[in-house]
Amino acid sequence: MELEEIRKKIDEIDHELVKLIDERFTLIERIIEVKNTLGMDTFQPKREEQVIAKVRDLSANPDVAEGVFRAIIEESKKFQERFR
């Protein structure tokens, strides 16, 4: 595969990742609404660790996947702070 073909494929993947991240954050907004209605705590460390464990199990590169998802979780926390 030529360099430009590889870059094109990466661009396509990035496009899909952005769409999925946007969808994830839309769902986070809905979760916040439900948690607020139920009087639940916004942050749940046990859930975070479940997500990380699942990601590690799914990935061929678990350390990389964990790092990426820990960054996503941190951004999710910042995002959730807007709704507190």
Over residues 32-66, the pLDDT tens digits come to 999 999 998 888 899 999 999 999 999 999 999 99
Measured at the CA of 76, the angle between CA 74 and CA 79, to 5 degrees, comes to 115
Domain range summary for the chain, segments of one domain joined by +: 3-81
pLDDT of the residue at 41: 87
CATH architecture for the domain at 3-81: Up-down Bundle (1.20)
Burial of 35 (0-12, 13-18, 19+ CB in 10 A): middle
- Confidence class of residue 81 from pLDDT cuts 50, 70 and 90? confident
pLDDT of the residue at 17: 97
